[in-house]
Amino acid sequence: MNPLLTALARLLIFPGLLFAVPAAWFYLWVERKSVALMQQRVGPPFMQPFFDFVKLLGKSTPPRPGIAGLLMRFWPLIAVSAAAGAVGLLPVLPSSGGFEGDLILLLALLEVPSICIIAAGFSSRSIFGEIGSAREAALSISYNIVFLLAIVSIAAAQHTFRLEALAGMRPSFLTELAIIAILVCLPAKLHINPFSLPNAEQEIYAGPMTEYAGPELAMWELAHGLEWVAGTGLVATLVAPHVTAAWLAAALFVAFSFAAVILLSVLAAATARLAIDSSVRFYWQCALIFTVLAISSAILVRLRS
């Protein structure tokens, strides 16, 4: 197949928008439903994330004159585009194409929504938004070091930055350490407990999202759901065994992604929100141990090869 057509199919059909948007609403529902069941509540109905999205689209947006209002409308669109692009890069199907160095592009796209959230909070000129953005910036710096080093350790051991090659690698002690480090970073990237402090409702309302409403807030919710798909999908592509049948590869991707959603949801329900200093200290001291071990293993692999 033509490489351009393959790239468009991955972006628009699977694992792109046609799959990712419904999966985003489904994962958001699974997260909320899992937390509710663990807290002995009924939880939302199955279609609630989709209903919330449609309801927000029908609401009006407060008038915001000047460049600040333009920027506030701009940030959620960038976040949705980046998250959708990250999902489209995931090498789900065998021989799905890609290009040399697409892992670097994936990491950049995964980081764009966090940058947009930080910028949105400061653009809103709300004290709650600014506090939430400051927390997001501090937390992002701490967990991203662990997240990036874990990914780079896998790439260094495999001598490639191509996603398709990394998805087909054999399991090893190195990859297990790196995947553990990635999973530990995902709660902070997805703003769930115990690292949900940038949008702590009891302290700063909705943090950077406090001044958002209507279609703009709907776009933020969609971007958040797509981050779930991209983050858990990255773990699924690294964990799932390499198979040649396209339907089986797709089924394994969905199964492992769903398992990651359940695992993160259970963690969110079982833990309380940490303070900013405790969160930063956790990533700098505890989670960094996994990454150091992964980097050391990658160096040993390269020395032996």
What pLDDT, on the 0 to 100 scale, is given for residue 171?
A: 74
Q: Provide the residue range defining the domain that includes 247.
A: 3-141+192-273
3-state DSSP assignment of residue 242: coil
The whole-number average pLDDT for the span 244-271 is 92
The whole-number average pLDDT for the span 156-174 is 81
In a domain, 61, yes or no: yes
Cβ burial of 123 (10 Å; 0-12, 13-18, 19+) is buried
With a cut of 90, say whether residue 25 has pLDDT above it: yes
In a domain, 84, yes or no: yes
In a domain, 297, yes or no: no
**Dist. CA 100–CA 259, nearest whole Å:** 29
Residue predicted with more confidence, 9 or 234: 234
What pLDDT, on the 0 to 100 scale, is given for residue 173?
A: 74
What pLDDT, on the 0 to 100 scale, is given for residue 229?
A: 96
In a domain, 260, yes or no: yes
**Dist. CA 139–CA 156, nearest whole Å:** 26
DSSP 35-83: HHHHTT-----TTHHHHHHHHHHTSPPPP--HHHHHHHHHHHHHHHHHH
The whole-number average pLDDT for the span 228-238 is 94
In a domain, 76, yes or no: yes
In a domain, 161, yes or no: no
For the chain, give the mean pLDDT: 86
Lowest mean pLDDT, pick from 8-12, 94-98, 109-113: 94-98
In a domain, 300, yes or no: no
Residue 197: DSSP 8-state: G
What pLDDT, on the 0 to 100 scale, is given for residue 301?
A: 65
pLDDT band at 302 (very low <50, low <70, confident <90, very high): low
The whole-number average pLDDT for the span 36-50 is 91
In a domain, 122, yes or no: yes
Count how many domains the chain has: 1
Span 167-210, pLDDT tens digits? 877 777 777 888 888 999 999 999 888 888 777 666 767 788 88
Residue predicted with more confidence, 259 or 167: 259
